[in-house]
Chains A and B, each alone.
Chain A
Amino acid sequence: QQKVQQSPESLIVPEGGMASLNCTFSDRNSQYFWWYRQHSGEGPKALMSIFSNGDKKEGRFTAHLNKASLHVSLHIKDSQPSDSALYFCAVSTNTGKLTFGDGTVLTVKP
């Protein structure tokens, strides 16, 4: 059974700073990787996906994937208070089933 672990559990960064979130997975057949963000009182929303090794940049957000190391990360540049949320890593093979990590709580201090 796929295991997805995220670190750190919580993270505090100053406004304008860089936030780095990490995720490891256990199934080497994993193919698709997502980051979801959940603001308080809402359902999770897909933030970005990455399917190939290397970096993928979307605005202030950069995802990095290394399948050989079973590792995916998310880096948020110029963090804003509105980025404060619970961030989930989600991993899928080719079955249509996503497995989520336990999440990282990001707090951006003004």
Chain B
Amino acid sequence: EAAVTQSPRNKVAVTGGKVTLSCNQTNNHNNMYWYRQDTGHGLRLIHYSYGAGSTEKGDIPDGYKASRPSQENFSLILELATPSQTSVYFCASGDLGGSQNTLYFGAGTRLSVL
């Protein structure tokens, strides 16, 4: 099974600080995704990528940047963290389009912004 590793697993940040969440996948998938999970909102897509060097805005990109420096790594960056960004963040990877759309998720990063 595809391996997706997120770091850190838990993070406490201060309002206005910069936060970087990291994700690494070892199955050579083209697509990678960042979601956040909040009670009552399910999984909402923040940014995604079709391959190294590409990033696309998802449904809720405001306040977030993404970086895909290589096939394996995809980062989510909060330049100026706010308490509303307190959430659980999941990274996922998957094959490109169509019926091969199974996503493999990491274990999540719990972020608290104080």
Contact = CB atoms under 8 A, between A and B. Distances in A.
Interface of A: 1, 6, 31-32, 34, 36, 41-46, 49, 51, 88, 90, 92, 94-103
Given A43-B90, A88-B43, A98 B103 contact: yes
Given A32-B98, A44-B90, A92-B101, A97 B108 contact: no
Interface of B: 4, 31, 35, 40-45, 48, 50, 58-59, 90, 92, 94, 96-99, 101-108
A45 B4 CA distance: 12
B44 to A, nearest CB: 8
Given A95-B97, A99-B45, A43 B106 contact: yes
Nearest to A92: B101
B45 A97 contact: yes
Q: Which 10 A/B pairs are nearest by Cβ-Cβ distance?
A: A43-B105, A102-B42, A96-B97, A100-B43, A46-B102, A100-B42, A103-B42, A92-B101, A44-B105, A43-B107
Given A43-B90, A88-B43, A96-B31, A32 B105 contact: no
